Structure 1
Amino acid sequence: MTVLVFLDPAFPDGRIADAGSPALLATDQGVTRGDGVFESLLAVNSAPRKVQAHLGRLAKSAHALDLAIPDAEAWLRAIATAALAFAGASPQEPDEHGNTNIVIKLIATRGPEGADKPTAWVQASAVSPLLAEQRARGLDVILLDRGYDSSVSGRAPWLLLGAKTLSYAVNMAALRHAHAQGADDVIFTSGDGHVLEGPTSSVLLAHVTDDSGAPVKRLITPNLDSGILPGTTQGALFAAAKDAGWELGYGPVKPEDLRDADAVWLISSIRLLAPVNTIDGREIGTPRVRARLTAELSALLAQTH
Protein backbone atom coordinates (compact mmCIF):
# COMPACT_ATOMS: atom_id res chain seq x y z
CA MET A 1 0.00 0.00 0.00
CA THR A 2 1.41 3.35 -1.10
CA VAL A 3 -0.22 6.78 -1.08
CA LEU A 4 1.01 9.51 -3.42
CA VAL A 5 0.12 13.17 -2.89
CA PHE A 6 1.35 15.65 -5.49
CA LEU A 7 1.95 19.25 -4.55
CA ASP A 8 -0.32 21.02 -7.03
CA PRO A 9 -1.30 24.72 -6.80
CA ALA A 10 -4.86 23.74 -7.79
CA PHE A 11 -5.12 21.52 -4.69
CA PRO A 12 -4.05 23.43 -1.53
CA ASP A 13 -3.80 20.25 0.56
CA GLY A 14 -2.20 18.21 -2.22
CA ARG A 15 -3.61 16.05 -4.99
CA ILE A 16 -3.92 12.34 -4.20
CA ALA A 17 -2.86 10.19 -7.16
CA ASP A 18 -3.39 6.51 -7.87
CA ALA A 19 -0.08 4.86 -7.00
CA GLY A 20 -0.89 2.03 -9.43
CA SER A 21 -1.17 4.33 -12.45
CA PRO A 22 1.49 6.34 -14.32
CA ALA A 23 2.13 9.63 -12.55
CA LEU A 24 5.41 11.00 -14.00
CA LEU A 25 6.40 11.87 -17.53
CA ALA A 26 9.13 9.67 -18.94
CA THR A 27 11.12 12.86 -19.62
CA ASP A 28 11.10 13.95 -15.97
CA GLN A 29 14.71 14.74 -15.05
CA GLY A 30 14.33 13.00 -11.73
CA VAL A 31 13.98 9.79 -13.76
CA THR A 32 16.38 10.48 -16.62
CA ARG A 33 19.17 12.13 -14.59
CA GLY A 34 18.46 11.62 -10.90
CA ASP A 35 18.19 15.42 -10.79
CA GLY A 36 16.24 16.11 -7.63
CA VAL A 37 16.18 15.92 -3.86
CA PHE A 38 14.33 13.90 -1.25
CA GLU A 39 13.83 13.32 2.45
CA SER A 40 12.56 10.31 4.38
CA LEU A 41 10.95 10.70 7.79
CA LEU A 42 8.87 8.69 10.20
CA ALA A 43 5.28 9.47 11.11
CA VAL A 44 4.37 8.00 14.51
CA ASN A 45 0.63 7.64 15.08
CA SER A 46 0.25 9.75 11.88
CA ALA A 47 2.32 12.62 13.36
CA PRO A 48 5.56 13.31 11.42
CA ARG A 49 8.73 13.26 13.53
CA LYS A 50 11.43 15.95 13.24
CA VAL A 51 9.53 17.41 10.30
CA GLN A 52 11.03 20.90 10.55
CA ALA A 53 14.56 19.46 10.54
CA HIS A 54 13.74 17.42 7.44
CA LEU A 55 12.12 20.35 5.67
CA GLY A 56 15.16 22.49 6.49
CA ARG A 57 17.53 19.88 5.10
CA LEU A 58 15.34 19.46 2.00
CA ALA A 59 15.53 23.22 1.38
CA LYS A 60 19.32 23.20 1.79
CA SER A 61 19.67 20.29 -0.62
CA ALA A 62 17.45 22.07 -3.14
CA HIS A 63 19.50 25.24 -2.78
CA ALA A 64 22.68 23.28 -3.50
CA LEU A 65 21.07 22.05 -6.73
CA ASP A 66 19.66 25.50 -7.60
CA LEU A 67 16.27 23.78 -7.60
CA ALA A 68 13.04 25.65 -6.86
CA ILE A 69 10.71 23.61 -4.61
CA PRO A 70 7.41 24.35 -2.84
CA ASP A 71 7.52 26.15 0.50
CA ALA A 72 7.37 24.42 3.86
CA GLU A 73 3.65 25.07 4.40
CA ALA A 74 2.75 23.33 1.14
CA TRP A 75 4.84 20.32 2.16
CA LEU A 76 3.23 20.21 5.61
CA ARG A 77 -0.27 20.19 4.13
CA ALA A 78 0.63 17.41 1.68
CA ILE A 79 2.30 15.38 4.44
CA ALA A 80 -0.87 15.61 6.57
CA THR A 81 -3.00 14.53 3.59
CA ALA A 82 -0.74 11.56 2.83
CA ALA A 83 -0.51 10.37 6.44
CA LEU A 84 -4.27 10.60 6.95
CA ALA A 85 -5.02 8.80 3.67
CA PHE A 86 -2.54 6.01 4.42
CA ALA A 87 -3.76 5.50 7.99
CA GLY A 88 -7.34 5.30 6.76
CA ALA A 89 -6.65 2.89 3.92
CA SER A 90 -4.07 0.57 5.52
CA PRO A 91 -4.48 -0.36 9.20
CA GLN A 92 -1.06 -0.70 10.81
CA GLU A 93 0.18 -3.20 13.36
CA PRO A 94 1.49 -1.44 16.50
CA ASP A 95 5.23 -1.64 17.12
CA GLU A 96 6.89 -2.80 20.34
CA HIS A 97 5.93 0.51 21.98
CA GLY A 98 2.28 0.37 20.87
CA ASN A 99 2.75 2.99 18.13
CA THR A 100 1.86 2.83 14.46
CA ASN A 101 4.53 3.99 12.01
CA ILE A 102 4.47 5.28 8.45
CA VAL A 103 7.39 6.11 6.15
CA ILE A 104 6.90 9.57 4.63
CA LYS A 105 9.06 10.55 1.66
CA LEU A 106 9.29 14.07 0.28
CA ILE A 107 10.49 14.12 -3.33
CA ALA A 108 11.16 17.00 -5.71
CA THR A 109 12.63 16.78 -9.20
CA ARG A 110 13.59 19.34 -11.81
CA GLY A 111 10.58 18.19 -13.79
CA PRO A 112 10.26 17.36 -17.51
CA GLU A 113 13.09 18.50 -19.74
CA GLY A 114 12.44 21.93 -21.20
CA ALA A 115 9.38 22.64 -19.04
CA ASP A 116 11.08 24.59 -16.21
CA LYS A 117 8.42 23.20 -13.85
CA PRO A 118 9.60 21.07 -10.90
CA THR A 119 7.63 18.01 -9.88
CA ALA A 120 7.00 17.48 -6.15
CA TRP A 121 5.14 14.84 -4.21
CA VAL A 122 4.81 13.08 -0.87
CA GLN A 123 4.79 9.30 -0.62
CA ALA A 124 3.42 7.39 2.37
CA SER A 125 4.14 3.67 2.81
CA ALA A 126 4.63 1.00 5.45
CA VAL A 127 7.84 0.53 7.42
CA SER A 128 9.76 -2.58 6.40
CA PRO A 129 9.77 -5.26 9.16
CA LEU A 130 13.47 -5.79 8.34
CA LEU A 131 14.37 -2.52 10.06
CA ALA A 132 12.99 -3.61 13.43
CA GLU A 133 14.82 -6.91 12.97
CA GLN A 134 18.09 -5.08 12.34
CA ARG A 135 17.61 -2.95 15.44
CA ALA A 136 17.05 -6.10 17.47
CA ARG A 137 19.85 -8.32 16.15
CA GLY A 138 22.37 -5.67 15.08
CA LEU A 139 24.38 -5.26 11.91
CA ASP A 140 27.49 -6.76 10.36
CA VAL A 141 29.18 -3.93 8.49
CA ILE A 142 32.11 -3.53 6.12
CA LEU A 143 34.20 -0.44 5.42
CA LEU A 144 34.28 0.79 1.82
CA ASP A 145 36.37 3.57 0.31
CA ARG A 146 34.14 6.28 -1.16
CA GLY A 147 37.01 7.42 -3.38
CA TYR A 148 37.16 11.05 -2.24
CA ASP A 149 39.38 12.66 0.37
CA SER A 150 37.72 14.27 3.39
CA SER A 151 38.25 17.85 2.17
CA VAL A 152 36.85 17.47 -1.34
CA SER A 153 33.41 18.93 -0.58
CA GLY A 154 34.97 22.32 0.15
CA ARG A 155 36.98 22.25 -3.10
CA ALA A 156 34.26 20.81 -5.29
CA PRO A 157 30.77 21.78 -4.08
CA TRP A 158 29.31 20.60 -7.40
CA LEU A 159 29.79 17.04 -6.16
CA LEU A 160 26.84 17.75 -3.82
CA LEU A 161 28.29 15.53 -1.10
CA GLY A 162 26.33 17.24 1.68
CA ALA A 163 23.00 17.22 -0.20
CA LYS A 164 20.37 14.48 -0.18
CA THR A 165 19.86 13.99 -3.90
CA LEU A 166 18.02 11.36 -5.91
CA SER A 167 21.35 10.12 -7.33
CA TYR A 168 21.59 7.08 -5.05
CA ALA A 169 22.90 4.52 -7.54
CA VAL A 170 26.35 4.46 -5.89
CA ASN A 171 24.86 4.02 -2.42
CA MET A 172 22.67 1.15 -3.57
CA ALA A 173 25.62 -0.46 -5.37
CA ALA A 174 27.60 -0.29 -2.12
CA LEU A 175 24.81 -2.06 -0.26
CA ARG A 176 24.59 -4.77 -2.91
CA HIS A 177 28.35 -5.25 -2.65
CA ALA A 178 28.05 -5.60 1.13
CA HIS A 179 25.26 -8.16 0.79
CA ALA A 180 27.38 -10.15 -1.66
CA GLN A 181 30.10 -10.24 1.01
CA GLY A 182 27.63 -11.52 3.62
CA ALA A 183 27.36 -8.15 5.40
CA ASP A 184 24.27 -6.07 6.19
CA ASP A 185 25.53 -2.56 5.58
CA VAL A 186 28.43 -0.25 4.80
CA ILE A 187 30.37 2.53 6.46
CA PHE A 188 32.10 4.73 3.91
CA THR A 189 35.62 6.02 4.48
CA SER A 190 37.42 8.80 2.65
CA GLY A 191 40.50 8.36 0.52
CA ASP A 192 42.59 9.86 3.32
CA GLY A 193 41.25 7.44 5.91
CA HIS A 194 38.42 9.28 7.66
CA VAL A 195 35.09 7.67 8.62
CA LEU A 196 32.19 9.31 6.78
CA GLU A 197 28.67 7.81 6.87
CA GLY A 198 26.57 4.87 5.74
CA PRO A 199 24.74 4.78 2.40
CA THR A 200 21.49 5.65 4.19
CA SER A 201 22.59 6.51 7.72
CA SER A 202 24.86 8.47 10.04
CA VAL A 203 27.61 6.83 12.10
CA LEU A 204 27.71 7.12 15.87
CA LEU A 205 30.15 5.65 18.39
CA ALA A 206 30.28 5.59 22.19
CA HIS A 207 32.85 5.23 24.95
CA VAL A 208 31.82 4.33 28.48
CA THR A 209 35.37 4.10 29.88
CA ASP A 210 38.41 6.26 29.19
CA ASP A 211 41.98 5.10 28.61
CA SER A 212 42.51 4.63 32.35
CA GLY A 213 39.36 2.58 32.77
CA ALA A 214 37.42 5.36 34.50
CA PRO A 215 33.71 5.60 33.58
CA VAL A 216 32.68 8.21 30.99
CA LYS A 217 29.63 8.81 28.81
CA ARG A 218 30.86 10.03 25.43
CA LEU A 219 29.16 10.02 22.03
CA ILE A 220 31.06 10.90 18.85
CA THR A 221 30.02 11.28 15.22
CA PRO A 222 32.13 12.26 12.17
CA ASN A 223 32.57 15.98 11.58
CA LEU A 224 30.17 17.46 9.06
CA ASP A 225 32.79 19.32 7.00
CA SER A 226 34.03 15.97 5.66
CA GLY A 227 31.25 16.05 3.04
CA ILE A 228 28.62 13.97 4.84
CA LEU A 229 24.90 14.58 5.12
CA PRO A 230 23.92 16.19 8.44
CA GLY A 231 21.84 13.56 10.25
CA THR A 232 18.49 14.80 11.56
CA THR A 233 18.07 11.81 13.88
CA GLN A 234 21.69 11.96 15.03
CA GLY A 235 21.18 15.64 15.82
CA ALA A 236 18.02 14.95 17.80
CA LEU A 237 19.73 12.18 19.75
CA PHE A 238 22.71 14.40 20.54
CA ALA A 239 20.38 17.05 21.99
CA ALA A 240 18.61 14.49 24.17
CA ALA A 241 21.89 12.83 25.22
CA LYS A 242 23.40 16.17 26.24
CA ASP A 243 20.47 16.76 28.58
CA ALA A 244 21.03 13.25 30.00
CA GLY A 245 24.66 13.98 30.84
CA TRP A 246 26.49 12.57 27.83
CA GLU A 247 29.61 14.29 26.52
CA LEU A 248 29.31 14.95 22.78
CA GLY A 249 31.97 15.18 20.10
CA TYR A 250 32.38 15.58 16.34
CA GLY A 251 35.27 13.79 14.58
CA PRO A 252 37.50 13.46 12.76
CA VAL A 253 36.92 9.74 13.21
CA LYS A 254 39.31 7.08 11.92
CA PRO A 255 38.51 3.38 11.38
CA GLU A 256 40.60 2.47 14.43
CA ASP A 257 38.30 4.71 16.50
CA LEU A 258 35.38 2.55 15.49
CA ARG A 259 37.23 -0.63 16.39
CA ASP A 260 38.21 0.78 19.79
CA ALA A 261 34.70 2.01 20.66
CA ASP A 262 32.48 0.35 23.25
CA ALA A 263 29.60 0.54 20.76
CA VAL A 264 28.93 1.77 17.21
CA TRP A 265 25.57 2.43 15.57
CA LEU A 266 24.10 3.34 12.22
CA ILE A 267 21.33 5.83 12.88
CA SER A 268 18.64 7.13 10.52
CA SER A 269 15.11 8.46 10.60
CA ILE A 270 13.41 5.22 9.58
CA ARG A 271 15.65 2.46 10.95
CA LEU A 272 16.45 4.58 14.03
CA LEU A 273 19.34 3.24 16.16
CA ALA A 274 20.82 -0.02 14.85
CA PRO A 275 23.85 -1.40 16.73
CA VAL A 276 26.88 -2.57 14.76
CA ASN A 277 27.97 -6.04 15.87
CA THR A 278 31.03 -6.38 13.65
CA ILE A 279 33.10 -4.25 11.28
CA ASP A 280 35.03 -6.21 8.65
CA GLY A 281 34.44 -9.31 10.77
CA ARG A 282 35.79 -7.85 14.02
CA GLU A 283 33.39 -7.58 16.96
CA ILE A 284 32.74 -4.12 18.37
CA GLY A 285 32.60 -3.99 22.16
CA THR A 286 30.61 -6.78 23.81
CA PRO A 287 26.99 -7.92 23.30
CA ARG A 288 26.08 -6.91 26.85
CA VAL A 289 27.45 -3.37 26.55
CA ARG A 290 25.99 -2.90 23.07
CA ALA A 291 22.56 -3.99 24.28
CA ARG A 292 22.65 -1.77 27.37
CA LEU A 293 23.76 1.33 25.50
CA THR A 294 21.35 0.72 22.62
CA ALA A 295 18.44 0.47 25.07
CA GLU A 296 19.52 3.64 26.90
CA LEU A 297 20.00 5.73 23.77
CA SER A 298 16.88 4.33 22.07
CA ALA A 299 14.85 5.47 25.08
CA LEU A 300 16.32 8.96 24.73
CA LEU A 301 15.62 8.97 21.01
CA ALA A 302 11.99 7.96 21.58
CA GLN A 303 11.51 11.16 23.60
CA THR A 304 12.55 13.41 20.73
CA HIS A 305 10.10 15.04 18.37
Structure 2
Amino acid sequence: MTVLVFLDSAFPDGRPADAGVPQLMINDLGVTRGDGIFESLLAVDGVPRKPGAHLDRMASSAQLLDLALPPRDAWERAIATALALHTEASAAGTGSAARAAVKLVVTRGVEGAGTPTAWVQVTAAPDASRQRTEGIKVLLLDRGYDSLAAARAPWLLLGAKTLSYAVNMAALRYVRANGADDAIFTSSDGKVLEGPTSTVVLARERNGVRTLLTPERKSGILAGTTQDALFRAAEAAGWELGYGPLVPEDLFAADGVWLASSIRLLVPVRSIDGRELPFSEALNTELTKLADAAL
Protein backbone atom coordinates (compact mmCIF):
# COMPACT_ATOMS: atom_id res chain seq x y z
CA MET A 1 0.00 0.00 0.00
CA THR A 2 1.51 3.28 -1.18
CA VAL A 3 0.28 6.78 -0.38
CA LEU A 4 1.34 9.58 -2.72
CA VAL A 5 0.98 13.33 -2.05
CA PHE A 6 2.33 15.94 -4.47
CA LEU A 7 3.43 19.37 -3.37
CA ASP A 8 1.21 21.74 -5.33
CA SER A 9 0.78 25.47 -4.67
CA ALA A 10 -2.97 25.08 -5.39
CA PHE A 11 -3.24 22.57 -2.53
CA PRO A 12 -1.74 24.02 0.69
CA ASP A 13 -1.71 20.64 2.47
CA GLY A 14 -0.53 18.70 -0.57
CA ARG A 15 -2.40 17.04 -3.43
CA PRO A 16 -3.15 13.33 -2.89
CA ALA A 17 -2.74 11.20 -5.99
CA ASP A 18 -3.43 7.62 -6.98
CA ALA A 19 -0.12 5.72 -6.73
CA GLY A 20 -1.58 2.99 -8.92
CA VAL A 21 -1.67 5.10 -12.09
CA PRO A 22 1.07 7.07 -13.92
CA GLN A 23 1.79 10.45 -12.36
CA LEU A 24 5.05 11.76 -13.91
CA MET A 25 5.61 13.21 -17.36
CA ILE A 26 7.92 11.03 -19.42
CA ASN A 27 10.26 13.98 -20.01
CA ASP A 28 10.61 14.84 -16.33
CA LEU A 29 14.34 15.33 -15.76
CA GLY A 30 14.21 13.11 -12.69
CA VAL A 31 13.25 10.24 -15.02
CA THR A 32 15.43 11.01 -18.02
CA ARG A 33 18.58 12.15 -16.22
CA GLY A 34 18.21 11.29 -12.54
CA ASP A 35 18.38 15.05 -11.93
CA GLY A 36 16.92 15.44 -8.47
CA ILE A 37 17.27 14.63 -4.79
CA PHE A 38 15.46 12.61 -2.17
CA GLU A 39 15.26 11.81 1.54
CA SER A 40 13.98 8.74 3.35
CA LEU A 41 12.79 8.84 6.95
CA LEU A 42 10.99 6.59 9.36
CA ALA A 43 7.57 7.27 10.87
CA VAL A 44 6.30 5.36 13.89
CA ASP A 45 2.57 5.34 14.68
CA GLY A 46 2.05 8.17 12.21
CA VAL A 47 4.77 10.41 13.68
CA PRO A 48 7.84 11.18 11.52
CA ARG A 49 11.24 10.76 13.17
CA LYS A 50 13.73 13.66 12.89
CA PRO A 51 11.94 15.36 9.96
CA GLY A 52 13.84 18.59 10.62
CA ALA A 53 17.19 16.89 10.10
CA HIS A 54 16.01 15.38 6.82
CA LEU A 55 14.61 18.67 5.54
CA ASP A 56 17.89 20.37 6.49
CA ARG A 57 19.87 17.75 4.56
CA MET A 58 17.50 18.05 1.60
CA ALA A 59 18.14 21.81 1.56
CA SER A 60 21.89 21.15 1.57
CA SER A 61 21.57 18.68 -1.33
CA ALA A 62 19.42 21.17 -3.24
CA GLN A 63 22.05 23.85 -2.81
CA LEU A 64 24.72 21.57 -4.27
CA LEU A 65 22.47 20.88 -7.28
CA ASP A 66 21.29 24.50 -7.61
CA LEU A 67 17.78 23.07 -7.38
CA ALA A 68 14.74 25.06 -6.26
CA LEU A 69 12.77 23.52 -3.38
CA PRO A 70 9.17 24.09 -2.27
CA PRO A 71 8.96 25.92 1.08
CA ARG A 72 9.78 23.94 4.21
CA ASP A 73 6.30 24.38 5.69
CA ALA A 74 4.79 22.96 2.50
CA TRP A 75 6.87 19.81 3.02
CA GLU A 76 5.78 19.57 6.63
CA ARG A 77 2.10 19.83 5.69
CA ALA A 78 2.43 17.32 2.83
CA ILE A 79 4.21 14.84 5.13
CA ALA A 80 1.41 15.20 7.68
CA THR A 81 -1.22 14.67 4.99
CA ALA A 82 0.51 11.59 3.59
CA LEU A 83 0.94 10.01 7.02
CA ALA A 84 -2.67 10.71 7.94
CA LEU A 85 -3.83 9.04 4.72
CA HIS A 86 -1.52 6.09 5.34
CA THR A 87 -2.87 5.66 8.88
CA GLU A 88 -6.43 5.90 7.60
CA ALA A 89 -5.81 3.29 4.91
CA SER A 90 -4.10 1.00 7.42
CA ALA A 91 -7.04 1.27 9.79
CA ALA A 92 -9.26 0.18 6.92
CA GLY A 93 -7.32 -3.06 6.80
CA THR A 94 -4.98 -2.53 3.83
CA GLY A 95 -1.70 -2.49 5.73
CA SER A 96 0.18 -1.57 8.90
CA ALA A 97 0.82 1.99 10.02
CA ALA A 98 3.08 1.11 12.96
CA ARG A 99 6.33 1.70 11.03
CA ALA A 100 6.26 3.57 7.75
CA ALA A 101 8.94 4.63 5.30
CA VAL A 102 8.46 8.23 4.17
CA LYS A 103 10.23 9.30 0.99
CA LEU A 104 10.59 12.94 -0.06
CA VAL A 105 11.48 13.48 -3.73
CA VAL A 106 12.24 16.56 -5.82
CA THR A 107 13.20 16.51 -9.49
CA ARG A 108 14.17 19.42 -11.70
CA GLY A 109 10.80 18.90 -13.35
CA VAL A 110 9.66 18.64 -16.94
CA GLU A 111 12.44 19.66 -19.31
CA GLY A 112 12.10 23.32 -20.23
CA ALA A 113 9.31 24.04 -17.73
CA GLY A 114 11.55 25.47 -15.01
CA THR A 115 9.33 24.12 -12.23
CA PRO A 116 10.41 21.28 -9.92
CA THR A 117 8.29 18.19 -9.37
CA ALA A 118 7.98 17.29 -5.69
CA TRP A 119 6.13 14.62 -3.77
CA VAL A 120 5.89 12.61 -0.57
CA GLN A 121 5.52 8.82 -0.72
CA VAL A 122 4.60 6.64 2.26
CA THR A 123 4.85 2.85 2.36
CA ALA A 124 5.16 0.24 5.09
CA ALA A 125 8.74 0.12 6.36
CA PRO A 126 10.66 -3.10 5.69
CA ASP A 127 11.28 -5.29 8.73
CA ALA A 128 14.95 -5.00 9.69
CA SER A 129 14.60 -6.52 13.16
CA ARG A 130 16.57 -9.66 12.26
CA GLN A 131 19.51 -7.66 10.90
CA ARG A 132 19.46 -5.42 13.96
CA THR A 133 19.79 -8.38 16.32
CA GLU A 134 21.82 -10.91 14.29
CA GLY A 135 23.96 -8.50 12.28
CA ILE A 136 25.15 -8.57 8.67
CA LYS A 137 28.06 -9.60 6.47
CA VAL A 138 29.78 -6.78 4.58
CA LEU A 139 32.26 -6.46 1.71
CA LEU A 140 34.63 -3.53 1.18
CA LEU A 141 34.17 -2.01 -2.30
CA ASP A 142 36.29 0.62 -4.04
CA ARG A 143 34.16 3.71 -4.68
CA GLY A 144 36.46 4.83 -7.50
CA TYR A 145 37.57 8.24 -6.28
CA ASP A 146 40.03 9.50 -3.66
CA SER A 147 39.12 11.12 -0.36
CA LEU A 148 39.93 14.63 -1.67
CA ALA A 149 37.64 14.44 -4.70
CA ALA A 150 34.72 16.28 -3.04
CA ALA A 151 36.75 19.46 -2.59
CA ARG A 152 38.54 19.14 -5.93
CA ALA A 153 35.49 18.30 -8.06
CA PRO A 154 32.25 19.71 -6.57
CA TRP A 155 30.37 18.82 -9.77
CA LEU A 156 30.55 15.17 -8.72
CA LEU A 157 27.92 16.09 -6.08
CA LEU A 158 29.59 13.95 -3.43
CA GLY A 159 27.72 14.45 -0.18
CA ALA A 160 24.39 15.18 -1.92
CA LYS A 161 21.55 12.66 -1.73
CA THR A 162 20.74 12.59 -5.44
CA LEU A 163 18.38 10.36 -7.39
CA SER A 164 21.41 8.92 -9.23
CA TYR A 165 21.63 5.77 -7.09
CA ALA A 166 22.40 3.27 -9.84
CA VAL A 167 25.96 2.74 -8.56
CA ASN A 168 24.74 2.21 -4.99
CA MET A 169 22.16 -0.35 -6.11
CA ALA A 170 24.73 -2.09 -8.30
CA ALA A 171 27.01 -2.35 -5.26
CA LEU A 172 24.24 -4.02 -3.23
CA ARG A 173 23.51 -6.48 -6.04
CA TYR A 174 27.21 -7.29 -6.27
CA VAL A 175 27.68 -8.04 -2.58
CA ARG A 176 24.52 -10.14 -2.40
CA ALA A 177 25.64 -12.15 -5.42
CA ASN A 178 28.87 -12.77 -3.51
CA GLY A 179 27.36 -14.00 -0.26
CA ALA A 180 27.20 -10.77 1.74
CA ASP A 181 24.41 -8.45 2.86
CA ASP A 182 25.82 -4.96 2.42
CA ALA A 183 28.88 -2.94 1.43
CA ILE A 184 31.20 -0.33 2.85
CA PHE A 185 32.78 1.90 0.23
CA THR A 186 36.45 2.85 0.43
CA SER A 187 38.25 5.61 -1.45
CA SER A 188 40.99 4.91 -3.97
CA ASP A 189 43.52 6.22 -1.41
CA GLY A 190 42.36 3.73 1.21
CA LYS A 191 39.95 5.68 3.41
CA VAL A 192 36.68 4.30 4.77
CA LEU A 193 33.69 6.18 3.33
CA GLU A 194 30.09 4.94 3.83
CA GLY A 195 27.62 2.23 2.91
CA PRO A 196 25.44 2.50 -0.22
CA THR A 197 22.50 3.53 2.01
CA SER A 198 24.11 4.02 5.41
CA THR A 199 26.75 5.68 7.59
CA VAL A 200 29.60 3.74 9.21
CA VAL A 201 29.93 3.89 13.01
CA LEU A 202 32.72 2.32 15.11
CA ALA A 203 32.96 1.83 18.88
CA ARG A 204 36.17 1.31 20.81
CA GLU A 205 37.38 1.49 24.39
CA ARG A 206 40.95 2.46 25.19
CA ASN A 207 42.26 3.03 28.73
CA GLY A 208 38.73 3.26 30.06
CA VAL A 209 37.64 5.87 27.49
CA ARG A 210 34.76 4.82 25.26
CA THR A 211 34.64 6.47 21.84
CA LEU A 212 32.28 6.40 18.89
CA LEU A 213 33.84 7.21 15.52
CA THR A 214 32.57 7.84 12.00
CA PRO A 215 34.37 8.75 8.74
CA GLU A 216 35.07 12.43 8.14
CA ARG A 217 32.48 14.15 5.96
CA LYS A 218 34.96 16.17 3.92
CA SER A 219 35.84 12.89 2.20
CA GLY A 220 32.60 13.27 0.23
CA ILE A 221 30.16 11.16 2.24
CA LEU A 222 26.54 11.95 2.98
CA ALA A 223 25.86 13.48 6.38
CA GLY A 224 24.14 10.77 8.43
CA THR A 225 21.05 11.93 10.29
CA THR A 226 20.79 8.71 12.35
CA GLN A 227 24.51 8.80 13.12
CA ASP A 228 24.12 12.43 14.22
CA ALA A 229 21.26 11.56 16.56
CA LEU A 230 23.17 8.60 17.99
CA PHE A 231 26.29 10.71 18.58
CA ARG A 232 24.33 13.39 20.44
CA ALA A 233 22.76 10.78 22.72
CA ALA A 234 26.06 8.95 23.23
CA GLU A 235 27.90 12.14 24.13
CA ALA A 236 25.25 12.91 26.76
CA ALA A 237 25.80 9.38 28.12
CA GLY A 238 29.54 9.95 28.51
CA TRP A 239 30.98 8.70 25.21
CA GLU A 240 33.77 10.54 23.42
CA LEU A 241 33.23 11.26 19.70
CA GLY A 242 35.59 11.05 16.74
CA TYR A 243 35.30 11.96 13.05
CA GLY A 244 37.93 10.08 11.04
CA PRO A 245 39.87 9.78 8.88
CA LEU A 246 39.48 6.01 9.11
CA VAL A 247 41.10 3.16 7.21
CA PRO A 248 39.88 -0.45 6.89
CA GLU A 249 42.19 -1.67 9.67
CA ASP A 250 40.32 0.66 12.05
CA LEU A 251 37.20 -1.41 11.35
CA PHE A 252 38.94 -4.64 12.29
CA ALA A 253 40.53 -3.10 15.41
CA ALA A 254 37.23 -1.68 16.75
CA ASP A 255 35.14 -3.24 19.51
CA GLY A 256 32.16 -3.08 17.17
CA VAL A 257 31.06 -1.71 13.78
CA TRP A 258 27.56 -0.65 12.76
CA LEU A 259 25.77 0.70 9.69
CA ALA A 260 23.36 3.49 10.64
CA SER A 261 20.41 4.56 8.49
CA SER A 262 16.99 6.10 8.92
CA ILE A 263 14.87 3.05 8.12
CA ARG A 264 16.97 0.15 9.44
CA LEU A 265 18.42 2.34 12.22
CA LEU A 266 21.50 0.62 13.74
CA VAL A 267 22.70 -2.69 12.24
CA PRO A 268 25.80 -4.45 13.62
CA VAL A 269 28.43 -5.68 11.17
CA ARG A 270 29.53 -9.23 12.07
CA SER A 271 32.12 -9.76 9.33
CA ILE A 272 33.98 -7.80 6.64
CA ASP A 273 35.39 -9.58 3.58
CA GLY A 274 34.85 -12.86 5.41
CA ARG A 275 36.84 -11.75 8.47
CA GLU A 276 34.87 -11.93 11.72
CA LEU A 277 34.53 -8.79 13.80
CA PRO A 278 34.20 -8.48 17.58
CA PHE A 279 30.57 -8.35 18.67
CA SER A 280 29.04 -7.65 22.07
CA GLU A 281 25.32 -8.11 22.59
CA ALA A 282 25.51 -5.78 25.58
CA LEU A 283 27.20 -3.03 23.55
CA ASN A 284 24.80 -3.52 20.63
CA THR A 285 21.83 -3.24 23.00
CA GLU A 286 23.27 -0.13 24.64
CA LEU A 287 23.85 1.71 21.37
CA THR A 288 20.50 0.57 19.95
CA LYS A 289 18.72 1.98 23.00
CA LEU A 290 20.64 5.24 22.70
CA ALA A 291 19.72 5.55 19.01
CA ASP A 292 16.08 4.67 19.62
CA ALA A 293 15.80 7.19 22.46
CA ALA A 294 17.48 9.91 20.40
CA LEU A 295 15.13 9.31 17.48
TM-score range, shorter chain: over 0.9
Tell me what 1:24 maps to. 24
Q: Name the aligned partner's letter for residue 56 of structure 2.
A: G
Q: How does 1:161-176 map to 2 (within 5 A)?
A: 161-176=158-173
Provide the TM-score with structure 2 as the length reference: 0.97
Residue among 183, 187, 205 paired with 1:186: 183
Identity among equivalent positions (%) equals: 62
Tell me what 1:52 maps to. 52
Tell me what 2:291 maps to. 301
Q: How does 1:55-66 map to 2 (within 5 A)?
A: 55-66=55-66
In terms of mean alpha carbon deviation, does 10-19 or 41-50 score higher? 41-50
CA distance in 1, matches of 2:277, 2:146: 26
**Aligned pair 1:109/2:107, yes or no?**
yes
Encode CA deviations 1:51-74: one digit per residue, 9 max, x unaligned: 111000001101110110101100
Helix, strand or coil at the partner of 1:90? helix
Encode CA deviations 1:188-218: one digit per residue, 9 max, x unaligned: 000000000000000000013x2xxx43311
Encode CA deviations 1:90-143: one digit per residue, 9 max, x unaligned: 24658xxxxx211111000001111111100000000112x2221121110000
Q: Name the aligned partner's letter for residue 63 of structure 1.
A: Q
Tell me what 1:87 maps to. 87
Mark the runs of 5 or more structure 2 residues left unpaired by the alignment.
Answer: none
How many Å apart are 1:172 and its aligned residue?
Answer: 0.2
Tell me what 2:192 maps to. 195
Residue pair 2:202, 2:213 contacting (<8 A) in 1 also: yes
Mark the runs of 5 or more structure 1 residues left unpaired by the alignment.
Answer: 95-99
Residue pair 2:140, 2:184 contacting (<8 A) in 1 also: yes
CA distance in 1, matches of 2:246, 2:186: 10
Q: Name the aligned partner's letter for residue 282 of structure 2.
A: R
Helix, strand or coil at the partner of 1:303? helix
Q: How does 1:1-305 map to 2 (within 5 A)?
A: 1-91=1-91, 100-129=98-127, 131-208=128-205, 210=206, 214-286=207-279, 289=280, 291-305=281-295
Provide the TM-score with structure 1 as the length reference: 0.94
Q: Name the aligned partner's letter for residue 107 of structure 1.
A: V
Helix, strand or coil at the partner of 1:6? strand
Aligned residues: 292
